[in-house]
Amino acid sequence: MDPTAFLAWEEHQPGRHEFVDGEVYAMSGATSTHNTIAGNLYMALRQGLRGTPCRTHIEGVKVHIQAADSVLYPYVFVTCDPVDLTPERDTHKTSPTLVVEVLSPATAAYDRGRKFELYQQLPSLKEYVLVEADRPHVDLFRRNAEGLWVLHPAGPGAVLDMASVGLSLTLDQVYEEVDFDLSRAFLQDRIEPSAGPAAS
């Protein structure tokens, strides 16, 4: 199966799947904490980018990384490419500027490693944001003029500066309505080896 065949096949599946290295991986469900964090970022980005050519997408829209023959489901992403607004790109986009992933114990190593390697093959991508779900901490990787990815961490009381889309948020805004005690307890129970690029 190639990415084109996968995209056609996946449209008719009841669940979500990712396509990496020629393999199809089923995705597991998310927690309410993950949904809250993703929702906070989606709403802030959508509101902040209103009136611009950029569009914000959440969870259900795929990113096709053509150079890597891979198809992924980011938690949240922004694309500013006019081609991504055409009807042919209704279910998947190819040129995100900003990608956000919300981490879980089972997928954190994959999100920081192989998945980041895949996203780096997107020429359009300027920033990759990793949001921890069990504590107020965000790692933002920004591509510099030399093409190198530079880490910009943000902890309690800090500001998340998403320069690629001209928007800054406090971590209080990112984590609004998140109960860290509940999140830590739940995520600890879910720690298990990751069998592949399934997201949770």
Q: Which residues of the chain have pLDDT under 50?
A: 191-195, 198-200
SS3 at position 65: strand
Spatial separation of the C-alpha atoms in residues 4 and 47, rounded to whole Å:
33
> What tokens appear for 52 in the block?
């611009």
pTM of this prediction? 0.90
Residue 57 DSSP SS3? strand
pLDDT of the residue at 182:
73
Q: Which long-range contacts (CB under 8 A, 24 or more apart) does 51-60 make?
A: 52/80, 53/80, 53/82, 54/78, 54/79, 54/80, 54/97, 54/165, 55/79, 55/80, 55/84, 55/85, 57/93, 59/30, 60/16
pLDDT attached to residue 98: 98
Backbone angles phi, psi at 173, to 5 degrees: -70, -40
